[in-house]
Chain A
């Protein structure tokens, strides 16, 4: 009988040993420190207009204009985790006239949330690339987030008249760099 209990004791010890191991101190609360800071780049807006766009029925008109929906901020995840936004514009003018490119962001009540104007000099046979950067943080970013529309207008400065055969174009390409901070 004594042997029986010894055996049983021995067996229980082995079983207990099976479930014994050392473990480093783990801290699962570390997940609370999770902070993702991805940086995304994306196209913002693009156009390529020929010189003759400014000619209508043989007459020059100085302003072209369009409004597009700009509702990326509709997405609350996007809205809530934004830290900083940067817009980079690059304008290449090969028309012999100067322009003012104006970008106006509007909120749902058609109030301006942000506007910027880029002066583009007339083309005179030398490469003519204008770069422009806007950065949004804190208050300017909060204001930008209310945007739902983007209004783009191009105003031609005075100069030698264009005809429907005038060469060149006004190209704009732009990108947004979006800095997130996701906690």
Chain B
């Protein structure tokens, strides 16, 4: 039983999470797949996304509790639900939200007719929230310390990141040979809001004592770095937070640089290997920076009289504030984007028959109807890197209808089935992808849910011959 528990714990802690776009990855009929691998084997004469609608994706994940656990309209008291959710959680459980909206995007082929080099570019806005469940602090808030004499409440569990940013990017990919596609993308990040509190430590302890009633210690090493937030916390702030964040997201002055690289390689015609590294980059926070720290050690012994020297009253508040001062620093700081690694291997089979209505591939290339393979995803986080493994099957149905099904093992679920499709009606391309389909019988019970959706106009390379 103990072993099972350990395995479960490992499965929870070594895990995939938000931002794994396993259905979109290598889905070459959707130009947005270039955002997860700039070396995707995508070809077009030119394309542009429908502004604001070309790429919308959102992911919500909570590895321990679901919306149903907390908000089910089933007559159970909310406080009981909250308590159950906290009791169920472990310190490695996490809550994450990721949202991305493409404002605009486009791409075109460069060079002459024989060239196989492409530019793609765009701007997207992204919001990320990532938090480990601070179980100890939740218990302290729910119950207090009365029933936990002798326990240390661990402050290192406090680990949270939030960011709103916009990303301006331009990418280039080239089919170097029949076997090899290389691509890269340069990114300019503009952060509208950042809050990072990931390197905390310390504890809150209440134990028995032989002198005073209790032995009470707060040892605190807490730090919250933030940029672009201070203004909203001021008492006399009366603007609109949403529009101010939007404004700062583009013109806030906290900029960063990053890059993506990717490759697609065909060792044989029907075997394809791909890999990409995304968001290797940093943001330098220099404007509206505020770093709050609470660092120190305080042993609270009570409001104790001093009969031998009564003229020196002590003040517990002052003592505490001197021991664990709240310091505000205005130092610049750098945050690293969560880097993501993707790779895949695919075996294709079933040659497509020649079809007059779709002459999409240049002569001499074989198109396969089916592909099966594996994908691996990994991402950096404040604690251990996360990984997810995906098996997939893709197929071309009808003319110009591509579908892909995925089965992913990650921390939120060991049976995450995803499905996506891309269809082209004339020049109009529409794609939609969801995962955790099994949970759709009651979405509120899902521990994570992702969707991607978008509309593009794609002009194929050979469309002038149609």
Contact = CB atoms under 8 A, between A and B. Distances in A.
Interface of A: 7-8, 10-11, 14-15, 18-28, 30-31, 33-36, 38-49, 53, 64-72, 74, 88, 90, 150, 152, 154, 173-175, 177-178, 180
A39 B145 CA distance: 7
Interface string B194-235: 000000000000100001111010000000000000000000
B214 A26 contact: no
A144 B74 CA distance: 41
- List 5 tightest A-B contacts by C-beta distance, closest first: A38-B144, A43-B302, A175-B213, A66-B305, A21-B440
Contacts of A43: 212-214, 216, 300-302
A88 to B, nearest CB: 8
A173 B432 contact: no
Interface of B: 67-68, 70-73, 77-79, 81-82, 140-147, 149, 206, 211-214, 216, 300-308, 310, 313-317, 398-399, 401, 419, 421, 423, 425, 430, 432-434, 440-445, 451
B101 to A, nearest CB: 17
A90 B214 CA distance: 12
A22 B310 contact: no
29 contacts: A7-B399, A15-B423, A19-B451, A21-B443, A22-B442, A24-B444, A26-B71, A27-B71, A28-B71, A30-B70, A30-B73, A39-B144, A41-B146, A42-B216, A43-B300, A45-B305, A46-B301, A46-B302, A47-B304, A53-B307, A64-B307, A65-B307, A66-B313, A68-B304, A68-B314, A69-B303, A69-B317, A150-B305, A174-B302
B463 to A, nearest CB: 17
B79 A35 contact: yes
Contacts of A70: 303
Main secondary structure of the interface of B (DSSP, over half): mixed
Contacts of A38: 140-144
B377 to A, nearest CB: 22
B71 to A, nearest CB: 4
A30 B71 contact: yes
Nearest to A40: B144
Given A24-B68, A31-B78, A152 B73 contact: no
B79 A26 contact: no
B144 A34 contact: no
Contacts of B444: 23-24, 26
Contacts of A64: 307
Contacts of B305: 45, 47, 66, 68, 150, 152
Contacts of A65: 307, 310
A19 B140 CA distance: 40
A66 B73 CA distance: 57
Given A30-B70, A43-B214, 17 more contacts: A14-B421, A18-B433, A23-B444, A25-B73, A26-B67, A26-B72, A34-B82, A36-B79, A38-B142, A46-B304, A48-B211, A53-B308, A65-B310, A66-B306, A68-B305, A68-B314, A177-B146
B296 to A, nearest CB: 18
Contacts of A8: 425
A25 B76 CA distance: 13
Nearest to A66: B305
B445 A24 contact: yes
